[in-house]
Structures are given as structure tokens and as C-alpha cells.
Amino acid sequence: MIALVSLLLLANPYSDMAPGHHYSPPRLSEGLGDPVFCFDAEGPTGDYQIVGVEFDGTYFYLSAGNSENEPNRIYVFDATGNLLSRFDQPSTSDWGFRDLAFDGQYFYGSGNNRIYKFDGQGNFYGYFNGPLNPHRGLAYDPGTDHFWVANRDSKICEITRTGQVLRQCDNDYSTYGLAFDTLSPGSPWLWVSAQELVGQEIYNKVYQFDPRAGTYTGVSFDVIVGGTPCYAAGLCFVPDWDTNKAVVVEVLQGDFDMVAGLLIEERSGSGKDVGVLAVTSPDDYFEKGADITPQGMVINWSSENLDVPTRCEIRLGGSVVYSEDTTLYGLAGRSAREVGFPDVTLADGGVYSLKVFTRLEGDEDRTNDTVALALYCADFIEDFELSDGGLVADPGQDAWEWGVPGCGPGQARSGFKLWATVLDTNYANRANWKLEKEYLCRSAPTWLLFWHWYDMESYWDGSNVKLSTDGGSTWQVIRPVGDYPEDMISPLNHGVGGEPGYSGATSGYQKAYFDLTGLVTPDVSFNLRFHFGSDDENTVPGWYIDDIGGVGFDPDVVGTGEAARLPDERLEVRMVGSKVFFQGSGSLPVRVRVFDLSGRVAALPGKGETVCWNTANSAPGVYFYLCELGQETVTGKLVIR
């Protein structure tokens, strides 16, 4: 069914609509986008500003502007269109929450730059700041635990639960609603409700968007319900309407506001279909040698209870380093449950691929069986608890401080200490502050990762990360995955003016990922700079950085001293912060003793495959170590600064 909708009530397709009320019965048919059900939302509520919709499996939740009165409302309807209850929104914008999202437990809505979290009983649990104002389109992706947002002609953005922008995708249409589809063939898809002005006619259409590729697919349908012209609004996805239909549900604004279910797919309902919604553990960033516990969320889309064989695989390059099978017994139809696998220790740094997938015989849809997660197993993570990590501040005073924060986030991401522009107060005006460190590239792929929190005057003040491969003579800005939130910081900024960077504020600690592969060369050192700048007025807490880690590189000269690099391949000695690590070749155990210049024993770190000497309580000076590897002995010198 392809048709064009002409709307003569209002000529501007970029306006929200609040018309009067009357009812027209829907036309039902069986093609893509055809109405499956429809109910009047304006009549029972008396509210002509219905804009958002979500479905929790039992009830519809509609967000609305309360006919231009305060407070804005959430209305609860049953599946047959009967109004059951209402509760107030905290949003005070003219229309209140626009589109809504649902993560299986909580709802989310946005009337401005804030995205609020609430439950079905009207309890609200705070908010986080998103990149748009408002987020007219809002959808939740259960496979990644991320949100997708858009606002009219903005880019379509993938964001975290703290509002960090991971991706920005080009958007061809004026967006008013988003719905995430995990069920229809080839899924996942993002469905986009949009309205466009062509000549004097307005088209309300729903478009299919591929979140993996970040592009529209070319699939779309016109929205026509009972011949009634309508404006686009909020959208949600219901995978099992009437047990065998997948529909998108859209709020339609016209002569009256209604809610309509539009057909996406009709199934026989007799087949078996299971899949994986998400990898729920581990976190994707950890240090090598840590124990991790793989877990995934498995869903049974079928109506019958099933025993679901499931496997977890971890690969490094093309090699499988971990493979475990388990069975999820008695998984009820139309339900999901977490599945766990035995712990594993990844001894080598690198970028691993973890996959959780179902292996049910007779599964009729294999496209939703697998979810993969990249694991960044760091060769080191500097948590700054025992030392400053060897980072050097420029200028050396009144800028960049290491220690316990008393401002900004109020605490470190882990432990107690971190680096901050200023620990206990706002940064200064006219700042041009640099924090630098030399590292040694070991291998590819090469990644820089860290956690950070920031609050900087939006546009005027900001920061970025820079790389030098010539000893600091020249520097280039490097961009994180998902890019910086600010394309160009104010030219009036004294440090990073005219450059892309972090600016504005986060609502909590966020992870930053930088791919250095191809920018740095194995066995060659490079420098990193954390660069902050401000303009001439207005200051806030600034930039706080913790848990800096590297995949494929190590600190070259780090922390309180340096370790002589030996040509002897029997022993590797490296220093991370205040810790010196001794590791024998292969699995050969090493026994370590440390002496001062007078020949007295200064430390007995012990014996093992990897031995650690913590120099935090050792006096600065020159030390010698003696390492016994089986019947052989290796000696060397350490300088502790």
C-alpha cells in the first residue's frame, strides 16, 4: 500500500499540532504499514497535546502537554484503548515529554535536553543530559543498552545511559519519533516517524534505518488511518501484538489525537525463535590478568517454553581462546533470562571479540541469534592511587593537579585519586594547560582508553587529546570513537581554540576510546597530551581523568622511576606507576631480590611467573635487582625518582 497524505490544516510541517477533536473510524488491511488497531486518545483525556507513546507489554503510556496547561501528563491506557490513570511529569516545557522509550523496567522521556527515568506508577528517578533539545525521537536498544535520539533534522545519535554520544549518523528526514525493532527479518532496525513538506502537501511517513550501518535502508511506508490527515509524533515497537504481529505504534496528531498500530510483520506464530538481546558482562575495558564473567541476555520470542542451548566464544584475532556451552532450561515463551558462563582470565593484552549465541535446532530466524562485544584488555591501567603515573603538567604550578578531588564529581572513578584541571575549585580563565606523557608502542591494534568527567563552559571552554610521534615537536588532535561533542571550540579559547573537543558537561563518568592503530609504530615511542583551554570569563569545575589504559602500548618512562630495558630475552622488567614488574620468559618462575647501593637488601618481592615490587615506600635512588630464573641469574639497575 503506497499512498500520499495531504494535510491542509497547517502549512508548516515542522510545527507540532494541537487541533480540535472528532473521531473517524480506521481502515484495516494487511500490508506493510497498514493499520492493525487504532484508538482515540484525545477524547478520554481531553488533552489535544498527545505526543509520545510506549507499551510495556500490558499498558500504553502516552505523554502529553495537558492542552497547554500545567502540569504535563502521562496517561495510562489498556491495550483496548481504555483510559486507566494519569500522573504528572516533571518536565515544564510547552509539550512535555516528546517520544518515550522503555528498557523492560523503566520508561524514559525528554521535553528538553534532559532525559528523565520513571516507572509505570509515576515514580521518577532523576535524569541525565542528552545531546539534543528536545529529544523528539527516543528509543532504547536492548542489545547494547544504549539509546538512540534525534530531533527533527538533527543527526540520529547513539548515546549511553549517561548521555555520551557514541555515534552521529546522517539524517535525511524531519524526525518526530524512533522505535527500536529487534524482531522483524534482518533486525535490528530503527523505525523513524517523520513528516515532510512537498509542495503544499505534508507526508507522514515511517522509514526504516539500519543502526549497524548508520544509514536508511530505502524501506518506508506512508501513514494513512481512516483517510484522516495527520502529523507525525512519537513511535514505539511492539513485537507480539495479537501473538503473531509485529507493529510500530504511532501517535497521530490531526483533527484529534489518536494511537495507531501499523503492521511491520505478520508471523504464523507456530515456529521456534530464540536469540540474544545483549552481552551483559563483562565491562568492555579491563586490565590483562583480571578474571571476567561472561553473561548474556537470551530471549524466547516463541509462545512455547524452550530449552535453549547457548555458547560463549572469545577470540583474539582468528584464534578461539575461550569456548563454553550451557543450556537455559525452561525459558518461558515471550520472556528473557540472563545466562552465565564460567570465569576466564585473559593473560594477554589485546582487543578480543566476545560472542554469545544461541544454538537451538529448528530456530526459524538465525539473524537475531548472536550478539558480539569488543573487549579492550589493556596491557596496563594506571589508577593513580600510588603515584601520579608519570604525567607531567605544563605549566607546573596552578594547573593540572593529582590527588583526591574535592570539586566536580567529588570522587575518583576508582579508588581515591585522579588527575584534574584543579582538584578543589573551578579552573582559571585564559587557561592553556597541558598534561603529557611518553609511551612505547608494542603492537597493533593500539588503543588509548580512559574514564573522565567534565564540566566546561559550553563552546567557550574545552579540551581534547593530542598525539606526537616526533618527541613533542609537532602535535595532532586525535578523535575518540563517536567523535567530540564540539566540532569547533571558540577561537577565543587560549588553549584549544578552533579545534574539536570536549565541551559542556557530562552527567557522570564516561569512557573514552581512541584508536591509535596506524598512527603509532611498534617499538617506537610516542607522546600523548591532555590539553585544556578556557576563554577570558566564566569558569566551572573542569576536566577529571582516571584509569588511563593502553592496548598495544606501555608506559615508556613512568611514575617514580625508570627500568633499564635489557637485551636479555629471558626477563622482562617494566614499571607502571610505582610498581615494577618482573616476568620470566614463557612460564619460567622468577625469584627477585632488590639491593641498594650499599649492597643491603632493600626488598624481597618474592617468587612467581610475574613478580611485583611496589616502590611507593622506597627512597629515591639507584637500586640493583637479582633475578633467578631456574639455574640462571639476570641482574640489572633501577632508578627510583
Q: In this predicted structure, what is the pLDDT of residue 30?
A: 54
Average pLDDT, the chain: 87
Mean pLDDT of 403-414: 94
What pLDDT sits at residue 243?
66
**Residues 340-360: what's their mean pLDDT?**
96
Grid coordinates belonging to 166: 557514541
Greater pLDDT, 495 or 637: 495
Q: What is the model's pLDDT at position 495?
A: 98
**Any idea which of 7-21, 71-85, 326-340, 464-478 has the lowest mean pLDDT?**
7-21
**At residue 42, what are phi and psi to the nearest 5 degrees?**
-80, -40
Mode of pairing for the β-strands spanning 370-378 and 285-287 = parallel
Percent of the chain at pLDDT > 90 equals 63
Q: What is the pLDDT of residues 178-220, one digit of tens each?
A: 999 987 777 889 999 998 776 666 778 999 999 998 999 999 9
Residue pLDDT, tens place only, 49-91: 999 999 999 999 999 998 888 899 999 999 999 999 999 999 8
How far, CA to CA in Å, does 542 sit from each of 129, 454, 457, 461? 17, 5, 9, 9
pLDDT at 534: 98
Backbone phi and psi for residue 366, each to the nearest 5 degrees, phi listed first: -85, -5
Q: Which residue has the cell 635512588?
A: 621
DSSP string, 51-85: EEEEE-SSEEEEEE-GGG-SSPEEEEEETTS-EEE
d(CA 270, CA 252): 33
CA dist., res. 74 & res. 95, Å (int): 12
Q: Give per-residue pLDDT as tens, 587-606.
A: 677 888 887 766 677 787 87
Which has the closest alpha carbon to 192: 203, 202, 204, 179? 179
pTM of the entire predicted model: 0.60
The pLDDT score that the predictor gives to residue 532 is: 98
Nearest to 127 by CA among 148, 151, 106, 154: 106
- Report the distance separating Cα 177 and Cα 184, nearest Å: 19
* Residue 227, pLDDT score: 66
How far is Cα 213 from Cα 480, in angstroms, rounded to an integer?
Answer: 19
pLDDT in tens, 382-391: 999 878 888 9
| pLDDT above 90 (res 339) | yes
Mean local confidence (pLDDT), 545-572: 65
* pLDDT score of 39: 93
In 130-242, DSSP assigns E strands to 137-141, 146-150, 156-159, 165-169, 175-181, 189-198, 201-210, 215-222, 235-241
Q: Is the pLDDT of residue 558 over 70?
A: no
144 Cβ contact partners less than 8 Å away, ≥ 6 residues apart? 158, 278
| DSSP state letters, 326-377 | EEEEEEPTTEEEEEE---EE--S-EEEEEEEEE--TTBS-GGGSEEEEEEEE
pLDDT at res. 528: 97
Please give the pLDDT value at position 114: 94
**Phi and psi, residue 43, nearest 5°:** -60, -55
Q: Among positive and negative, which fits the CA dihedral 161, 165, 169, 173?
A: positive
List 610's β-bridge partners, or say none.
583
CA 104 from centroid of its chain's CA atoms: 18
Express each pLDDT in 280-293 by its tens digit. 999 999 999 999 99
Mean pLDDT score, 158-183: 92
Q: Does 255 or 300 have the greater pLDDT score?
A: 300
Nearest residue to 50 via CA among 19, 81, 23: 19
Rounded to a whole number, what is the distance in angstroms from the first to the last CA of the chain? 76
pLDDT at 15 over 50: no
Residue 129: pLDDT band (50, 70, 90) is very high
Q: Which residues pair with 159 in a beta bridge?
A: 147, 165
Lowest mean per-residue pLDDT among 80-84, 243-247, 251-255: 243-247
Q: CA angle at residue 434 from 617 to 411, to 5 degrees?
A: 55
pLDDT tens-digit profile of 562-585? Answer: 333 333 567 788 777 778 888 877
pLDDT of 116 > 80? The answer is yes
The dihedrals phi and psi of 384, each to the nearest 5 degrees, come to: 65, 20
Task: Show the 3-state SS of 359-372.
Answer: CCCCECCHHHCEEE
In the predicted model, what is the mean pLDDT of residues 255-276? Answer: 83
Is pLDDT at 4 greater than 80 in this prediction? no
What percent of the chain has pLDDT above 70? 90
The reported pLDDT for the residue numbered 604 is 77
Which residues 6+ apart lie within 8 Å of 25 measured at CB?
226
Q: pLDDT tens across 457-476, in order?
A: 999 999 999 999 999 999 99
> Tens of pLDDT along 144-154?
899 999 999 99
For residue 6, give the C-alpha cell: 495531504
